[in-house]
Structure 1
Amino acid sequence: MAADSASSDEARVKRDFWPTVKRVARSIPFAEDAVAAYYCAFDRETPTHVRATLIGALAYFVLPLDALPDFVPLMGFADDASVLAATLALVRTHLNDRHRDAARRTLADKEFG
């Protein structure tokens, strides 16, 4: 059952992450962290337990309805930011310069936004 849930979360993140980030990147202060977390989660060198933790946090980010729906002005992404911040604190040693550099390049790309 847990493997099915993890597999479902991974599929959801792969499908919904980029459209979600493209839609909200300019309005959320943690866009770079989210994109760096994505790159870390799908980096084959990242340990499996870290990947699973990041994918869970990113799945929460892309869910259309959560504790505070994302369409609520100013507060909609507060819960997403909290979940991601807590997750990044847990796995910070695995999120490296390569992931952060890739996130910065992606967000700076004219074609991205």
Structure 2
Amino acid sequence: MSEGFSARFSREEMAAIRDSLRDEARFGADFMSRLKRVAKRIPFAEDLLAAWFCTRDPQTPRRVRLTLLAALGYFVLPIDAIPDIMPLIGFTDDAAVIAAAIAAVAGSITPEHREQARRALAEL
């Protein structure tokens, strides 16, 4: 296992994660800003947005919401196992984290969330 995957987060990194997720309005703005910059380059943009809309749905159970927010937080935060600036492979770790989170909560992401994601992507 590579150092990037086996090393624990530092105290500073954990504080940055907590701070980012604590302020949902800022987190949402950061998420949408980052997605707008990269949406055309990543094939999982619709999944990201569907997960986001699922977290915003008041019917979504808290555990599902937290699981998805943690995965979305990994996408937003600059802390990354594989730097996103690396051509072709930079977003593979983000895609894996999102895919794992979505697989864990698949029944909670509704067709309505996916439709919202498609409409939002069309507007980007």
| TM-score bracket, shorter-length normalisation | 0.7 to 0.9
Cα deviation for residue 25 of structure 1 reads: 0.3
Other structure's SS at 1:65 match? coil
Gap regions ≥5 residues in structure 2: 1-16
How many residues align structurally? 106
**Which one of 51, 62, 68 corresponds to residue 48 of structure 1?**
62
Other structure's SS at 2:107 match? coil
Look up the match of 2:112. 98
Q: Does 1:9 align with 2:44?
A: no
Cα deviation for residue 13 of structure 1 reads: 2.8
CA distance in 1, matches of 2:19, 2:67: 13
TM-score (normalised: structure 1): 0.87
TM-score (normalised: structure 2): 0.80
Query: How do 1:19-58 and structure 2 match up within 5 A?
Result: 19-58=33-72
Kindly name which structure, 1 or 2, has the bigger radius of gyration based on alpha carbons.
2
C-alpha RMSD of the superposition: 1.5
Gap regions ≥5 residues in structure 1: none
CA distance in 2, matches of 1:97, 1:10: 28
CA distance in 1, matches of 2:39, 2:28: 17
Q: What amino acid does structure 2 have at the position aligned with 1:92?
A: A
Percentage identity across aligned positions? 51
Cα deviation for residue 78 of structure 1 reads: 0.2
Tell whether the 8 Å contact from 1:38 to 1:58 is kept in structure 2 after alignment. Answer: yes
Q: What amino acid does structure 1 have at the position aligned with 2:21?
A: D
1:61-113 Cα deviation digits (max 9, x unpaired): 0112310011111111000000000000000000001100000001112xx2x
